[in-house]
Amino acid sequence: MHTNADNTMRKEMLTLVRDDLAKLGIRVDAAPLEFNTLTAHMRSDLDYDAVLLGQGSAVPAEPGMGQNTWRSSGLLHYWHIRQEKPATPEEARMDALMDRIVYSTDEPARKTAWRELMGIVNDQCWIVWLPTQIIRLPVRSKFGNVAPSPMPHRILWNVDRIFVKSGGH
């Protein structure tokens, strides 16, 4: 299992994963790599079995901006690499859900599509989510249109539509 060698936190996480899997009788060779080498393996020569990376910077707060990860044709779509069309019915459904997320202005419909998309990812186990810290974000009452995110690694769903109320202090 690879991770980027220049990220101390990820190397520590890799050690924890290795040690936890060892308790189940699964041997993991932890192999941190220089980031460019790691991404070359992931995108070019496919020389890897598993990779520990974070979605924090790869998937923006707006789910529609994460098409590179969630669409079957996306560059960061690592479970079925280099495909011209969806490899499974689940991936085809995810593509349709991304269409709904990207093209709809109906926020409840977009959130429902996002939840279904994440359900597919979780059911298929293409990505194994590791526990992260709980983040709390206090927001003063002078801000309007604040909506919490249904995405586990984001704080706000609609950060682009938050505003300062008139006369707010």
Q: How far is Cα 35 from Cα 11, in angstroms, rounded to an integer?
A: 12
The pair phi, psi for residue 4, each rounded to 5°, is -80, 125
pTM of the predicted structure, to 2 decimals? 0.66
Report the candidate in 124, 122, 159 with the shortest Cα–Cα distance to residue 139.
Answer: 159
Please calculate the CA angle 78-5-49 and round it to the nearest 5 degrees: 35
pLDDT at 168 over 80: no
| Number of Cβ within a 10 Å radius of residue 60 | 12
What is the band of 145 on the pLDDT scale with cuts at 50, 70, 90? confident
What is the model's pLDDT at position 136?
63
Domain boundaries, the chain: 1-53
Q: 154 to each of 112, 120, 124, how far by Cα in Å?
A: 16, 19, 22
Tens digit of pLDDT for each residue in 74-133? Answer: 877 777 777 888 999 999 999 999 999 999 989 899 989 999 999 999 999 888 777 665
Other CB atoms within 10 Å distance of the CB of residue 110? 21
Per residue in 9-65, pLDDT (tens digit) is 889 989 999 999 999 999 999 999 999 999 888 878 888 888 888 765 444 567 787
How far apart are alpha carbons 67 and 75 in whole angstroms?
A: 9
Q: Which residue has the higher pLDDT, 168 or 79?
A: 79
Supply the Cα-derived Rg of the chain in whole angstroms. Answer: 19
Tokens representing 112 are: 């429902």
63/150 Cα distance (integer angstroms): 10
